[in-house]
Amino acid sequence: MAHAVVVPPRSILPAIPLMAEPLLSRVWKAPVNAGPGRGIIGVSAMTRRFFLGTAAALGPSPAAPAPGGMPFRQIHLDFHTSELIGDVGAAFNAEEFAATLRDARVNSINVFAKCHHGWAYYDTKIAARHPALKFDLLGEMVRALRREGITVNYYYSLVWDVLQAARHPEWRAIAADGKPVGRPLDDTWPWLCMNTPYLDQVVAENREILDNYDVHGGWFDILKQPPGGCFCKWCLAERKKLGLSDSAADTYKHNKLVAMRVERRLFDLVRAKLPHGAVFFNSRIVIGVRDEMPLFSHIELESLPTGGWGYSHFQQRVRYLRTLGKEVVGMTGRFHKSWGDFGGLKNQAALDYECLNFLANGVKVCVGDQLHPRGRLDAATYSRIGVTYRKVEALEPWCRGAEAAADIGVMSVAATNPDMTTQKVPLADQGFTNMLLELHQQFNVLDLDSEFTPYKVVILPDEIRPSAALASKVESYLAGGGALLVSHESLLEPATRRFAIEALGVRYLGPAKFKGCYLLTIREHFPRLDDTPYFLYQPGTSVAAESGAEILATYGFPYFDRSKEQFCSHKQTPLGRRTGEPVITRKGKVVYIANPIFRSYAQDGYGVYKQVVGELLRKLLPAPLVLAPTLPSTAQVTVLRQGPRHVVHVLYYPLTRRAPDIDIIEEPGLLENVELRVRMDRAPARAALVPQNRALPFRHENGYAVCRIPRVLGHQAVSFE
Ligand SMILES: [Zn+2]
């Protein structure tokens, strides 16, 4: 399902004409998601060079919808239906359809105009209606949904279209080996190239839909390209004309250019008809999508935890997307596994967790479903969704316009090593995401354009490649009083093998002297850790401490490294000698760790690494946004700000791995007497359990509101106002 992609660092992207400054300012300064100290995050995006092929593509962008205005309870209703099925829509009843959704408390839905098979589900003179469909399904859906007051966007499949691939083989995307990309069953769907006359066909079909149907917006799926570039005749000719080679860097540029040209044409088409209409392009939601944001009305984060994405994916990605100045919708699925999983129904507790976790991270909720070909929604599915959506609805008064707060900004390693695979989370990102969640820290994920100043601590994990711009940004952040945690080879210049900033307090000597080293913590700096050598499962770096840098932990070396010639026992060679060579140093508010500790946490799961980072954060961030000393690491806590109100969410849904690639949540966990300390300069007037709206006793001491939640069964929110 996922394709590995090698793409160049952003610094080599070409200079493209700037979008008109006042226009970008209008888009980016819209106070959407402008949380405390975060309104400025979008500003640097104003200077982003825009990546469109022709100046003509740079038309005006109408203003975005009112902030916070999107519906909270959405459904994405898949309907990819083979022409071999002969009774499409035969059991569809418009009133029943809308009533099922209404009764499940759904207030927005994406329904199908055109599917991956290429069939249309509406009356059309341009596209091809599904041969078995006897009526205007889209039209009946839209009218019934409108009557129930449910927002309706139409779904349209872009790159995957079986029908057009058969009719126009010349429009197919071509890989470097000259073969068309994608075959049904072994590689999902045939891919079309959006740089062919197919785009004109797409635009004509969408114009017809927008002219004839009273929808609220368009939802465009599968806007992606072969990672190694497309070798169709149109792409070859255009790259030649633009002077772009077939190198990874140039194909990345060309892919981006083609994708943003599609976005521009469809965005303008929808907005010409619907000035505030929803426009979303799926398959583009990666670290580095920031420059495409002016062509999106909002962001949707497709992340089905049991369908190949895993539970870490949403946690990493949402913490980036929510900083981009757009409303965000989290999308899971009702499936046991992934899309198209007929007869696979997710556990109620898992659905509850996934949706409540969206709210706990300041984003809206969407559940993916697939309609049976005959057109009847499944009653059990909507009963289950209804249970969850009633919980969501009850919490909405404390979620509307709420912004997640964060002390810590962590740069994604994809910021300097971009990857267009939407499902993929780099190992280092997975490591810091899980570690910080388990430590109950509040954090956002950054790219190179993110502002550092809103954060008390910035982390550059393991492999952040330096540039002059990044070094200068880090230096001015430190000069302004920020704290920094750097690990392994982050900020290490590949050519000179020197660190890009002097404030780090260490000099690079080379790779660690042994592959299998031990971490020797100095007790006064890590009083909560047992005093014993801890193995470093991944090899790190060798550094010397510069003057002014304090050594917090040192290396222990093995007798020898394990090899064919010399080995001892089953695994790593035991500790041979203790050394004074630093593994962890601190100089003022800058900490350096000479090991890929975040990637290693994802690979090795050794809790000691989390304890080490936890202790270091205690030094750099003595007063975090929230302290929950009795909360287990498997529980989550998030802090949101809703105007003057603080809303804290505690989630406890333990998951266990019960299949090789699937983590299962079967029931909510129970916690009692949970102590919460929430940083607040002034004592709030009232604390209450929400949505119960029941007053909760609290006290205010040392800048924290302190309370105890009597009972958490899966989820409990607390409001301080
Ligand atoms: Zn092409």
Q: Which whole number is the average pLDDT over 74-82?
A: 98
Cα of 326 vs centre of ligand 1, distance in Å, is 30
Q: Quick one: 408-620 is in which CATH superfamily?
A: Class I glutamine amidotransferase (GATase) domain (3.40.50.880)
From the list 534, 653, 550, 671, the residue with the least C-alpha distance to 604 is: 534
What is the distance in A from the centroid of ligand 1 to the CA of 48?
Answer: 26
Residues of the chain with CATH 3.40.50.880: 408-620
The H or E element that residue 321 is part of is: helix 311-321
Looking at the chain, how many residues does it have? 721
Angle of helix 233-242 versus helix 248-273 axis, rounded to 10: 110
Query: What fold is seen in the domain 10-33+71-403?
Result: TIM Barrel (3.20.20)
DSSP state letters, 281-311:
ETT--STTGGGGGGG-SSEEEE--IIIII-H
- Residue 421: predicted pLDDT: 84
Per residue in 266-308, pLDDT (tens digit) is: 999 999 999 999 999 999 999 989 999 999 999 999 999 999 9
Tell me what pLDDT residue 4 has. Answer: 34
- Cross-strand bridge partners of residue 249: none
529-571 pLDDT, tens digit each: 999 999 999 999 999 999 999 999 999 999 999 999 999 999 9
State the distance from the centre of ligand 1 to the C-alpha of 174, rounded, in angstroms.
7
256 CA → ligand 1 middle, Å? 12
Greatest Cα-to-Cα distance within the chain, rounded to the nearest angstrom? 80
Please give the single-letter amino acid code of residue 59: G
Cα(36) to ligand 1 centroid in Å equals 44
* Nearest Cα to Cα of residue 66 among 405, 297, 399, 285: 297
Q: Any idea what the Cα angle at residue 589 is, between residues 324 and 407, rounded to 5°?
A: 30
Question: CATH 3.20.20.80 occupies which residues in the chain?
Answer: 10-33+71-403
How far away, in angstroms, is 521 Cα from ligand 1 center?
55
pLDDT of residue 185 exceeding 80, the answer is: no
DSSP H or E stretch at residue 422: none
Residue 124 CA, ligand 1 centroid: distance in Å: 27
626-720 in CATH: which number? Answer: 2.60.40.1180
Q: How far is the CA of 203 from the centre of ligand 1 (A)?
A: 17
Question: Which residues touch 496 (CB under 8 Å, ≥6 apart)?
Answer: none
CA of 170 to the centre of ligand 1 (A): 9
Average pLDDT rounded to a whole number, residues 664-681:
97
* Three-state DSSP class for residue 651: strand
> Is it the case that residue 32 has pLDDT exceeding 60?
no
The band of 420, judged by pLDDT with boundaries at 50, 70 and 90, is confident
Q: What is the mean pLDDT of the chain?
A: 91
| CA separation, residue 594 to residues 180, 511, 604, 640, 666 (Å) | 46, 9, 17, 34, 40
Q: How far is the CA of 194 from the centre of ligand 1 (A)?
A: 7
CA angle 664, 349, 713 (to 5 degrees): 115
Q: For 388-417, write each residue's pLDDT tens digit.
A: 999 999 999 999 999 999 999 999 999 998
pLDDT digits (tens, 9 = 90+) for 91-129: 999 999 999 999 999 999 999 999 999 999 999 999 999
Q: Which amino acid is at 296?
A: F
Print the SS3 string covering 145-211.
Answer: HHHCCCEEEEEEECCECHHHHHHCHHHECECCCCCECCCCCCCCCCEECCCCCHHHHHHHHHHHHHH
pLDDT of 187: 63
b vs e for 590-614, b when ≥16 Cβ sit within 10 Å of the residue's Cβ? bbbbbbbbbbbbbebebebbbbbbb
Ligand 1 centroid distance, CA of 285 (Å): 21
Whether 207 has a pLDDT exceeding 50, the answer reads yes
DSSP result, 18-64: PPPHHHHHHHHHS-TT--TTTTTTTGGGGGPPP--S-GGG----PPP
Side-by-side strand order, sheet with 534-535: 443-446, 408-411, 457-460, 483-487, 590-593, 575-587, 550-558, 518-521, 534-535
Distance 127 CA to ligand 1 centre (A): 22
Q: How close is the Cα of 175 to the center of ligand 1, in Å?
A: 9
pLDDT of 186 reads 60
Of 154, 187, 151, the residue nearest 172 (C-alpha): 187
Write the DSSP assignment of 101-128 as a string of letters: HHHTT--EEEEEEE-TT--B-S--SSS-
237 CA distance to ligand 1 middle (Å): 9
**Residue 52 pLDDT more than 50?**
no
Task: List every span in the chain annotated with CATH 2.60.40.1180.
Answer: 626-720
- How far apart are alpha carbons 720 and 684 in whole angstroms? 6
Q: Please compute the mean of the pLDDT values over residues 492-520 and round it to a whole number.
A: 97
Residue 113, phi then psi, degrees to nearest 5: -95, -50
- Minimum mean pLDDT among 18-22, 364-368, 375-379, 607-611: which range? 18-22
Amino acid identity for residue 577 in this structure? R
Q: Tell how far the Cα of 442 is from the centroid of ligand 1, in angstroms.
A: 43
Q: How far apart are CA 614 and CA 48, in angstroms?
A: 35
| 37: confidence class by pLDDT, cuts 50, 70, 90 | very low
**pLDDT > 70: percent of the chain:** 90
Helices (runs of H) and strands (runs of E) counted in the chain: 14, 31
For residue 672 the two structure tokens come to 């009692």
Segment holding 429, helix H or strand E:
helix 427-438
Instruction: Give distance in angstroms: CA of 233 to centre of ligand 1.
Output: 7
Distance 282 CA to ligand 1 centre (A): 19
Report CA(400)–ligand 1 centroid distance (Å): 43
CA distances from 229 to 13, 122, 157, 484, 528 (A): 15, 34, 20, 38, 52
As a whole number, mean pLDDT of residues 141-157 equals 98
Calculate how far, in angstroms, residue 198's C-alpha sits from the geometric centre of ligand 1: 10
Q: Which of 61-70, 210-219, 610-619, 644-653 has the lowest mean pLDDT?
A: 61-70
CA 138 from chain center: how many Å? 31
Short-list 274, 162, 264, 302, CA closest to 218: 274
- C-alpha of residue 319 to centroid of ligand 1, in Å: 33
Q: Three-class SS string for 517-533?
A: CEEEECCCCCCCCCCCC
Distance 62 CA to ligand 1 centre (A): 30
With bands split at pLDDT 50, 70 and 90, how would you rate the model's confidence at 68?
low
DSSP state letters, 574-630: PEEEEEEEEEEEEETTEEEESS-HHHHHHHH--HHHHHHHHHHHHHH-SS-SEE-TT
CA 238 to centroid of ligand 1, rounded, Å: 9
Ligand 1 center–CA 267 separation, angstroms: 21
Instruction: Please tell me the number of Cα atoms within 13 Å of 719 on its side-chain side.
Output: 19
**In angstroms, what is the span from residue 249 Cα to ligand 1's centroid?**
17
Tell me: pLDDT of 338 over 90.
yes
Share of the chain above pLDDT 90, in %: 88
**The tokens 């510069």 sit on which residue?**
546
Structure tokens at 161: 């279209």
pLDDT 10s digits, 464-485: 999 999 999 999 999 999 999 9
61 confidence band (pLDDT: 50, 70, 90): very low
For residue 195, report the distance from its CA to the centre of ligand 1, in Å: 5
Mean pLDDT of all residues in 12-18: 31
User: In the predicted model, is pLDDT for residue 447 greater than 80?
Assistant: yes
Ramachandran assignment for 406, one of left (phi > 0), alpha (psi -120 to 50 degrees), beta (any other): beta
DSSP readout, 391-406? HHHHHGGGTTT-EE--
Q: Output the CA 169–ligand 1 centroid distance in Å.
A: 12
Report the pLDDT value the prediction gives residue 59, as an integer from 0 to 100. Answer: 34
What value does the mean pLDDT take over residues 250-254?
A: 93
Distance 225 CA to ligand 1 centre (A): 8
The reported pLDDT for the residue numbered 178 is 94
Over range 424-445, report the average pLDDT.
Answer: 98
pLDDT score recorded for residue 418 = 82
DSSP element (H, E) containing 469: helix 468-479
CA of 283 to the centre of ligand 1 (A): 17
Amino acid, res. 237 = A
Say if CB 355 and CB 364 are below 8 A apart.
Answer: no
Measured in degrees and rounded to the nearest 5, phi and psi for residue 411 equal -80, 130
